[in-house]
Structure 1
Amino acid sequence: MSARMTDASLKPITAAEVEQLEAQMNETGVGVLRDVISDSLLQQARGYVKAQLEQRGGQYFGLRGPEWIAQSPLDTVFRSEAFATVLTSLYEKAMGTQPPSDRILPVIRVVAGTLGLRHSNLFHYDSFVVTALVPIVIPSRPDELPGHLVMYPNLRKVRRRAVVNIAEKLFVESATARRLWRSPWLQHRLGAQIVKLEPGNIYFFWGMRSLHANQACLAESVRSTVLFHFGDPHEKSVFKQYSRRLSELRTRRIAGKEHRARDRRYAAVEGELPRANPDN
């Protein structure tokens, strides 16, 4: 991991604010640090998102790991000593022990285009105890769907055995189960929370305990968030690699369906166009 920075583009975070975060996360599901990401850093991050989106034809993409963030303006958050201290403190309060390592997994998700629709309402549990969410671009025009965060807060306890966690994820993240989770009736019955995201804030929640997803956005809109996952109690388990492969296969399957649909659309359009004269 890169060396920690004490001068990152974050406002100071006090011990009292960390205590308040934990209380909010336990009571309502989400704790919020408000106005801690500077406007200048947000603008730089949006420039990064725009450039990456242009390279991918305006379609959904997700990147994970330290490689991508090292090339982005958000590396200052990733390497912030104050930010790492908050994550560590929350883990220790939740688990009553020190985290297995100081590893933070950064993930950027950019929901856009028709492919973005397939990556919405995919309810899941994280494999990490603490999740911090940084909104970068949130649709805000009156005619746009903002793609709010939807959460069943603290629906379960931390699963201390990896095999139990994997088995439960396979059940609750199946296609059938996900249709149920996005049902307005079930969300009302189980007290699902709609979290409206505002750039400049950082949102913290118990990722392994809270079933969550983002609502859909319009295909022409852009929704970008960065997730910082911390504290995987199963990171040394032999079952963890298997779980990771399942997640990657599921993501590739979704992308493959969209690419095949796109190819069919292109083929249909080409069939309607006059063919060029090969002698010209």
Structure 2
Amino acid sequence: MPYSTFSDAQVLSLIKAIDSDGYAVLPGWASPSQLKDLQALVSRTVAEAGNDYVALSGRQAVAGSHLHDWGGSREFVDLCRRIVAGVTGEPSADTGMTQTLRCLTGNGGRRESLIFHYDSFVLTTILPLCMPESGERGDLLMIPSRRPIRGSYARNLLDKVLVDNKWAQRYLKNKFSNESDAFTRISMQPGHMYLFWGYRSLHTNLPVAEDALRATAVFHYHNVHGSSSLASRLRKSLGTLEEQEMGEDVPQT
């Protein structure tokens, strides 16, 4: 990782970029050699999954890789903490982050695309590892800052329910087809780190050709409602995390 420490001015610049453009970029987060190693990991992972969609969740799932190291990096966590504190006005108590390696290819990759959602975490960062060079590249698509940070988990849950249904999904897909200028479309480059407000921005990825491969490492920081008693009760009653919002906490970007 070429980045170690960030000045207050650099952190503020990242926040301003996300606020104005919908996202910020840290170029060359992964060095060429690191990117090569991670692409080899992706190739093995996809092959073991029968050359179809696969997602590896958590640091231990990528143990021994640079992704494992970055997921626990004090410098990376500190950067995320400062960005979140800068936008919310409150320091986060989180000492780690949630991460997933997400590989889109084959028919499964198409099924896992174009699903609009909000994240449960304030900050989402995406490191593309493999991207198609032409055709359907799986670009990141979003409507930035579409909602505020909710004061309650119940209101956050309502936001998700209003999006997580076939009618809303159909409406958003049609809107993109007819009014693409209403969306921010990001053509990501392997090795760069992209940061955006995952909680506030309605987002998804565009489809990838079945014979192509799009692999991204997704890191989330600061679960807004992580301590909610309602969220805890729902988890227990459902036997799983509601936050797996069609997937970004099992990511969809």
Q: Same fold (TM over 0.5)?
A: yes
1:26-53 CA distance string (max 9 Å, x none): 1111011111211111111111111111
Q: Secondary structure at the match of 2:79?
A: helix
AA in 2 matched with 1:157 = P
The aligned residue for residue 119 of structure 1 is 112
Report which of the two structures shows the higher radius of gyration computed on alpha carbons: 1
Cα gap change, 1:231 to 1:247, in 2 (>3 Å): closer
- Match of 1:14, as an amino acid? F
Amino acid at match of 1:82: E
Q: Out of 155, 163, 168, which is 2:146 matched to?
A: 155
- Residue of structure 1 in register with 2:158 after alignment: 167
Say whether residues 1:110 and 2:103 are aligned partners. Answer: yes
Aligned to 2:250: none
Question: 1:245 corresponds to which letter in structure 2?
Answer: L
SS at match of 2:86: helix
Aligned to 2:70: 77
Aligned pairs for 1:1-280 within 5 A? 9-15=1-7, 16-140=9-133, 142=134, 144-183=135-174, 184=176, 187-188=179-180, 191-241=182-232, 242=234, 245-246=241-242, 248=244, 250=246
Number of residue equivalences:
240
Deviations 1:251-276 (A, max 9, x none): 6xxxxxxxxxxxxxxxxxxxxxxxxx
Q: Contact 1:127–1:208 at 8 Å: present in 2 too?
A: yes
Secondary structure of the equivalent of 2:10? helix
Structure 2 length as normaliser, TM-score? 0.88
TM-score, with structure 1 as normaliser: 0.80
The ranges of structure 1 where at least 4 consecutive aligned residues each deviate by more than 3 angstroms after the TM superposition are 185-189, 243-251
Where 2:121 maps in the other structure, the secondary structure is coil
- Partner Cα separation in structure 1 for residue 106 and residue 210 of structure 2: 4
Q: CA RMSD in A?
A: 1.9
Quote the offset at 1:13 in angstroms.
Answer: 4.5
Answer whether contact 2:71 2:96 (CA < 8 A) is retained. Answer: no
User: Are the aligned partners of 2:27 and 2:193 in contact in 1 as well (CA < 8 Å)?
Assistant: yes
Could you say if the C-alpha distance between residues 77 and 229 of structure 1 is closer, same or farther in structure 2, counting changes exceeding 3 Å?
same
Q: Deviations over 1:87-128 (max 9, x none)?
A: 001110111111132230011111011011110001100000
Q: Is the 1:180–1:186 Cα contact (8 Å) retained in structure 2?
A: no
Structure 2 distance, partners of 1:196, 1:249, is: 24
Moved more, 161-170 or 117-126: 161-170
Any unmatched runs of 5+ in structure 2?
248-253
What SS does the corresponding residue of 1:182 show, helix, strand or coil?
A: helix
Residue deviations 1:217-266, cap 9 Å, x none? 10011100011100112111133343653455956xxxxxxxxxxxxxxx
Deviations 1:180-216 (Å, cap 9, x if unpaired)?
1122256446x21000101121100001000000000
8 Å contact from structure 1 (residues 128, 229) kept in 2:
yes
Query: Deviations along 1:152-173, whole A, 9 cap, x unmatched?
Result: 0001101121111112101112
Q: Closer, same or farther in 2 for the Cα pair 1:35/1:234, shift >3 Å?
A: same
Note if contact 2:125-2:220 (Cα within 8 Å) is conserved in structure 1: yes
